[in-house]
Amino acid sequence: MGYDVPTPIQEEAIPILLQGQDILGCASTGTGKTAAFAIPVIQKLMHRGTKSSKRTIRALILTPTRELALQTDESFRNYSLYTNLRSTVIFGGVNQRPQTQALSRGIDILTATPGRLLDLMNQGFIHLDEVEYLVLDEADRMLDMGFIHDIKRIISHVPKERQTMFFSATIPEKIDDFARSILHNPVQVTVKTNDNKIEYIDQCLYYVDKKSKSTLLVDILKDAASDSVLVFSRTKHGADKIAKELTRHGIGSETIHGNKSQAARQKALQNFKQHYTKVLIATDVAARGLDIALLPMVINYDLPEVPETYIHRIGRTGRAGHTGVALSFCEPQERKLVNSIQKLTGRSIRKLTA
């Protein structure tokens, strides 16, 4: 995979997990978190062997979104390429037949979103009574999305004798209480990410009125040397409007948001990663957990209303020590949002003139 040096979360988490301890990890996407839990899980599954002749689910990874589930499963497949372990992924919004067929052949590692997992458990396709390793990834996002009761129901079907790994970008009190209710004497590992995530990002701001935003975006994209630009829209309707405007000016783009089918979202993401499409326009929910290597530029067409979302958005670029550019469009009435963002990040955003 070309990894030479472990990231801070990997360096701290891997030894703890190899010793069999539970972990409460505070780390965002882009910190190497997936490898931090996947590598020890794969090693331990290989060394322990199976309890029965038929493959059963021995590692369960819960994630909040379909995109993150797919990426996590892809990581497990890559890391376990030269082992005999089998993994698969399940999520809603698509036909369940290919997923149930993969399950029926027997798997060791299952990555799942809570809703589809419960659905297939209720239908009798999935049994969790031999799970040895349970991972909750982006737990704060799962709770924000209302999955808490689903997660509790799922955990009630997992053996109490297990190793649990709980990862969250933030650990407010309600997350901490929930984590400690399902963890056994956990070791807490915190990787400070806000500074690291934006350290290599050149943050710039344009003050622009609403009707001029599309013209400014077209001008920037026509001048941009980079062949990959991720644009954030606050709404699904807004994302589609931006795409139409770009098409009118001969700029190829695709959108990913909640109204798109899973197949369409995955196709758009692959086209973007492979540079067939220059511009990907996304809403925050659809973009959660997107891992795009060497993405040079992010544009906030609409400023997010929550400052933490800004850090998450611009953190799509400037990853793993590479540089990146984050441009934000600010309408006159949104100056308070900019102040909140600067207060959170502890640094000012450079002003540009259109």
Q: Kindly list the averaged pLDDT for each block of 10 residues, start to end, along the chain of length 354.
A: 88 95 85 92 86 82 89 94 94 90 94 95 95 93 84 95 91 84 92 62 92 93 83 93 93 88 83 89 75 84 86 78 85 90 84 80
**Any idea where the domains of the chain sit in the sequence?**
8-192, 195-352
- pTM of this prediction? 0.65
Q: Which residue has the tokens 């003139």?
A: 353
Q: Answer yes or no: are the C-beta atoms of 189 and 171 closer than 8 Å.
A: no
- The reported pLDDT for the residue numbered 52 is 57
CB of 59 within 8 A of CB of 285?
A: no
Q: What are the two backbone dihedrals, phi and then psi, of residue 230, each rounded to the nearest 5 degrees?
A: -100, 125
Class of domain 195-352: alpha beta
Q: Which class does domain 8-192 fall in?
A: alpha beta
